Structure 1
């Protein structure tokens, strides 16, 4: 993993975590039975995971060394 790819993934985690918390704060779950949006920690972690995975899509693939 290159430094550029790592920075891009970390940026995605940060943006996703912020978006997850905003989602909890603005929409949330009134009844408390929703698995992801019932607690701010769950929403933040889930948003960070999704953001990291989404931003990782835009990372350039690393080049493999050929043994031959």
Structure 2
């Protein structure tokens, strides 16, 4: 598997997991920064996915 494809797959997995977390654990008050909306969860998940994928690059 090419390094670029692995990088993209890890980032997409982070986005998907973050969106799922934001969608299932929605905070009704909006005070929860990670789970207040699904797209914000996806944003945080994508950032964490980028950081994780960048740590595997050699």
Q: Smaller-chain TM-score range?
A: 0.7 to 0.9
- Return structure 1 stretches of 4+ with deviation > 6 angstroms: none
- Residue segments in structure 1 that go unaligned for 5+ positions in a row: 61-68
* Higher gyration radius (CA): 1
TM-score, length-normalised on structure 1?
A: 0.68
Counterparts of 1:38-49 in structure 2, within 5 Å, are 38-49=36-47
Larger fraction in helix: 2
Report the aligned-residue RMSD: 1.5
Partner of 2:25: 27
* Separation in structure 2 between the aligned mates of residue 42 and residue 57 of structure 1, nearest angstrom: 23
Give the total of aligned pairs: 57
